[in-house]
Structure 1
Amino acid sequence: MSGAVCGPASLVNSMMDLHQGALMLLGPTMNAKVAFELSERLPHLGIRMKEHSNRAMTYATKMKKLGFQVIYPGLEEHPQHDLLKSMANKDYGFGGLLCLDMETEEKANRLMNYLQNFTQFGFMAVSLGYYETLMSCSGSSTSSEMNPEEKALAGISPGLVRMSVGYIGTIEQKWGQFEKALSRMPDSGLFKN
């Protein structure tokens, strides 16, 4: 993980103040090995992000056709599709994160179990940044401390699966793994038609 402090020079300078500055007091200097590894990855970040977004759009479209409740800003029915389209760089798509609303935690966990353990489509994780596809059931993991009203306001159903789409293997290979997992699942009533 890394980041940058951006803002007016007065803000950045105040944060770098030797005696009172947050940057000086909190020690933001990155480990040299980590900094080197990040610098090695930056030259191809743009290529990776394009593929990340392309695959997310492909999967979102295919998942919707299968009857899943898909939440992805690249789909025209998303309430903020037009806003993002007006702001985004068209070459980089709509991002690599999508959500499937499986309605219940049990259905969400069953889907993720099959995707991870039967076909290796992706991995269950709470972090969503990796070259492999990562999935989490937000309501019972990263957002578990929110109360039901806060979850409802944020649009987090008990069965919301967040998915960070990876970019290894071919799209066809990975989609085949997704379909194979679905074919092995005993409950055909998982999807809304």
Structure 2
Amino acid sequence: MANNGYGYGGLLCLDMETEERANRLMNLLQNYSQFGFMAVSLGYYETLMSCSGSSTSSELNNEEKELAGISPGLVRMSVGYVGTLEQKWNQFEKAVFRLQDFGLLNKN
């Protein structure tokens, strides 16, 4: 599946370090900037996101997660093909700036 405006969707990962911060980011992305939807599976044409450590990789123990590079705050996002790339980027930035306003993200 592809969008003529920018091609195929892609996968983006962001390590928020803690599950609490990951959930805060996903909540803002879904409910504040309408970037995408929280889900346990990333297979859909809309943008979906999940906190891998507590969802898709929850069957792994902590040592296995560490070996795989899955931190408690790892957010995986499957960027869908609905909308334009510019729109998705603006929605993502809007949520990140909001996190910075809350002091939950370093401004560097």
Structure with the higher strand share, 1 or 2: 2
After TM superposition, give the deviation of residue 146 of structure 1 in Å.
1.1
User: Counterpart in 1 of 2:7?
Assistant: 51
TM-score (norm 1): 0.50
1 CA distance for matches of 2:48 and 2:7? 15
Partner of 1:109: 23
Residue in structure 2 matched with residue 187 of structure 1 by the alignment: 102
CA drift of 1:172 comes to 1.2
TM norm structure 2: 0.85
- Higher-Rg member (1/2): 1
Asked if 2 retains the 8 angstrom alpha-carbon contact of 1:102 and 1:191, the reply is: no
Matched residue pairs, number? 105
Deviations along 1:137-184, one digit per CA (max 9) or x if unpaired, are: 010111112111000011100000011011111111121111222233
Please list, as runs of the form range in 1=range in 2, the aligned pairs for 1:37-186 lying within 5 A after superposition.
45=1, 47=2, 51-53=7-9, 96-185=10-99, 186=101
* Counterparts of 1:167 and 1:191, CA distance in 2: 29
Contact preservation (8 Å) 1:121, 1:177? yes
Q: Which structure's residues are more often helix, by fraction?
A: 1
Query: For residues 158 and 191 of structure 1, what CA distance do their matches in structure 2 show?
Result: 18
| DSSP-derived class of the 1:97 partner | strand
The answer for unaligned runs of 5 or more in structure 2 is none
Provide structure 1 residue ranges, at least 5 long, that are not aligned to the other structure: 1-44, 54-95
User: Where has structure 1 moved over 6 Å in runs of 4 or more?
Assistant: none
Distance 1:114 1:184 in 2: 8
Please report the RMSD computed on the Cα atoms of aligned residues, expressed in angstroms: 1.9
